[in-house]
Structure 1
Amino acid sequence: MFSTRQLILDTDIGSDVDDAMALALILGTPSLELVATHTVYGDTRLRARLARRYGALAGRDLTVVAGTAEPLSGREVWWPGHEGTLHDDLESETFAPGSAPEDLVARLQANPGELDVVAIGPLTNLAAALELEPQVAQWIRHLWVMGGHFGADAKPEHNFKSDHVAARTVLTAGIPTTITAIEITQQVTIGADLLQRIRAAGALGAALGADIEQWWAYWKETWNVPHDPIAVLTLSRPDLFTLSPRGRITIADDGLSTFAPDPTGTVRIVTELDTAAAAEEITARIVAASGETDGDGS
C-alpha cells in the first residue's frame, strides 16, 4: 500500500510494554525496514538486550546500540524494576558497540534525507546527537514522536517530563516532526480479546503476551494503552490519522507541552484517529511479526 521506509527506532523498551509492542509491529510491517534500534533512559544496556531478544523471537538479527542513560534534565529515572524479568538469560544477548547518539549521527550523515526516526521514549539520544552534529536536524527525513499532551486538561507527559531539556532541544530544532500525544493514544486499548490473538502467535506472541500481562498486573488493570505502536502507525498507516496544520512546540520546565499553529513551523500533531482500525492493525502486525497465521483470520 505504501512505499518502504527505512527507519531508526529510539526506545526505552522494557518498562511500559508498549515499546515491545511497537518493535514487534515494525517487524511485522513489510513497508518498514528497521535499520537500527537505539535504547535510551535508565539501564540502556538491559534495554538493548531486551530489544535483541525480541528480534530473535521474531527470527531477526537486529542491530541494537545502547544509548544515553541519564536525562539531560537531571531528573531521576523512573524504573519499575520488572524490566526483562520474564526473559531468561538476557546476559547472553549481545548488542553493537558504541553509543546511540554517535551511531545516529553516522547513519544520518551516510544517508542524509533517507532515514526516518521513530522516537518513543525520552528524546535524550536525539538531543545528544544534535549536540554532536547540528546537521542532524537537516539529515532526518522525518521524526515521529510519541509524547506530550495537548488536550484541554493537558498535564506533563512522561517522555517529555523525563527529559524536558532534550524535548525542548529536539522539538525546536526545525526537524520535520509528527507527534502523537496521549490524548490521542488513550483512545485505543488492548484488552483480553486482542491479547488472546497476540499470545497465540508463536514464541514472539507468547513472550509479548506475558509482558503485557505483567504490565497489567503492575497497574492492577486488565487492559493497556498501546501508546508507542500508535505513534509507529502514523508512519506506516497515515490513512488512519488526521493531523493539525504545521506549528511550533513549547516545552515548559515541568515537561508540559503546548502547540501553536504557525505556517513556518515544522511540527504537526495528531488530532484524530480511527481507533478500531488502529487496534486491529497493531494486533495483526504483531501476529505477522511472529510468522504465524492470525486465528482471527486477519
Structure 2
Amino acid sequence: MADRQIILDTDLGSDVDDALALAVLLGSPEVDLLGCVTVYGDTALRARLAQRLVRLAGRTVTVVPGAEKTLTDREIWWAGHEGKLFTDLDTEQISHEPDATTYLTEQVRRAPGGIDVVAIGPLTNIANAIQADPSFAANVRHLWIMGGRFDSLEPEHNFKCDPEAAKIVFDSGAPITVTGLEVTTTVRLEAGDVARIAEAGEFGEALKAEIEQWWRFWNEEWNSPHDPITVLTLLAPDLFGFTAEGHVAIDAMGGSVFTEGGGRTRITVAARADEVAAQIVARTVAAPR
C-alpha cells in the first residue's frame, strides 16, 4: 500500500533523466503519485509527453503544464528533440484548470505535512507556489530537489536557468534535500541497463528510444541519471549520505553554496552508485501495470 504522496515537478522531454524519474515513481509501490506539473519552455508539450509515458505504463496521473518563462527571464534552452519520437502527442489530454501554481498550493494545503514534492527542473513553479501561498513552505512535507553543485561555484543547469526562483525556494524555510551534480555524476546507466529497461513492454521500449535519443544528442553511450537519483534520496535514503541541516545560498549566476546551520536544507554528499543504478533499473521495469 502506498505510504508516500508525491507530486513531481519536471522539465521532462530534454534530458531523458526526467522520464526515468517518472518511471521510478511509477514503479515504486510505496508511492501514490498524485500528479505531475511541468516547467520551463513548452510546458504543454512536456505535459503531453509525460501523459503519454504514464499511459504507456497503464497508469492514470493528473498532468498540469506549468510556467513556461523563468522568473529570471533568461532564454530557454531547448534541445530540439523534445517529443519528436511521437507523432500524435497532441491527442494526449492534459489539465489546464487549475493552473500549476494553484494545483501545487491547493494539494499541499489540503494535506499539510502529508505531501512530498520532487522538483527536478528549474524551480520556477515551486517559487511561484511559495509566493502565491505563504503557507506552502510550511505545509509541504519535504522538497526533494535536483540541482546545483556543491564542490565548486560552477552553475548547474536547473539553478542557472532561474537563479531568482532558486533563491526564493532556498530562502523559504521549507524542509529541503538537494542533490547536486557532484553526486549524481557518480552514477551511470549503460547499454546493459537500457536492455533491461526495454524488456518492460511498450513503456520500456519508449524509454529505451528516449534514452538512445539523448545518447545520440551527446554522442555518448551512457548517461548519468540525475533525476531518478534524486527520487531515490526520498525512497531509499539508506543508499546515500547527507549533511546536517543548513542553508543554501544562490548567487546571481545560479551558483550554490551550502553552509551548515541556520536553515532546514541538507545536501546529499554520497551515493552507493552501483546499488542506486540497480534500483533505478528495477523500479523502472516494475512501472508498467
Q: Is the 8 A contact 2:14 2:82 kept in 1?
A: yes
Task: Confirm whether residue 61 of structure 1 aligns to residue 65 of structure 2.
Answer: no
Query: Which AA in structure 1 matches 2:195?
Result: Q
1:9-88 equivalent positions in 2, closer than 5 A: 9-88=8-87
Task: Confirm whether residue 141 of structure 1 aligns to residue 141 of structure 2.
Answer: yes
Q: Matches of 1:285 and 1:188 in 2, distance apart? A: 16
Q: Matches of 1:73 and 1:208 in 2, distance apart? A: 32
1:1-298 equivalent positions in 2, closer than 5 A: 4-98=3-97, 99-151=99-151, 153-262=152-261, 264-291=262-289
Deviations 1:114-139 (A, max 9, x none): 10000000000011111111110101
TM-aligned CA deviation for residue 3 of structure 1: 6.9
Deviations 1:25-52 (A, max 9, x none): 1000011110010000000000110110
Could you say what secondary structure the match of 2:8 adopts? strand
Q: Is the 8 A contact 2:2 2:32 kept in 1?
A: no
**Cross-structure match for 1:296:** none
TM-aligned CA deviation for residue 154 of structure 1: 3.9
TM-aligned CA deviation for residue 113 of structure 1: 1.0
* Aligned-residue CA RMSD (Å): 1.1
Q: Give unmatched runs, 5+ long, in structure 1.
A: 292-298
Larger mean CA deviation between 98-107 and 276-285 belongs to: 98-107
Q: Matches of 2:134 and 2:123 in 1, distance apart? A: 15
Could you say what secondary structure the match of 2:209 adopts? helix
TM-aligned CA deviation for residue 108 of structure 1: 1.0
Could you say what secondary structure the match of 2:121 adopts? coil
Could you say what secondary structure the match of 2:154 adopts? coil
Could you say what secondary structure the match of 1:118 adopts? strand
Q: Matches of 2:34 and 2:126 in 1, distance apart? A: 16
Q: Give unmatched runs, 5+ long, in structure 2.
A: none
Query: Which AA in structure 1 matches 2:47?
Result: A
Q: Is the 8 A contact 2:2 2:29 kept in 1?
A: no
Q: Matches of 1:104 and 1:266 in 2, distance apart? A: 21
Q: Matches of 1:104 and 1:201 in 2, distance apart? A: 31
**Cross-structure match for 1:294:** none
Query: Which AA in structure 2 matches 1:49?
Result: R
Deviations 1:207-257 (A, max 9, x none): 000000000000000001100000000011011011001110100000000
Aligned residues: 288
Could you say what secondary structure the match of 2:143 adopts? strand
Q: Matches of 1:62 and 1:7 in 2, distance apart? A: 11
Could you say what secondary structure the match of 1:38 adopts? strand
TM-score after normalising by structure 2: 0.98
Q: Matches of 1:107 and 1:155 in 2, distance apart? A: 35
Query: Which AA in structure 1 matches 2:26?
Result: L
TM-score after normalising by structure 1: 0.95
Deviations 1:2-35 (A, max 9, x none): 9721010000000000000000110000111100
Q: Matches of 2:30 and 2:179 in 1, distance apart? A: 20
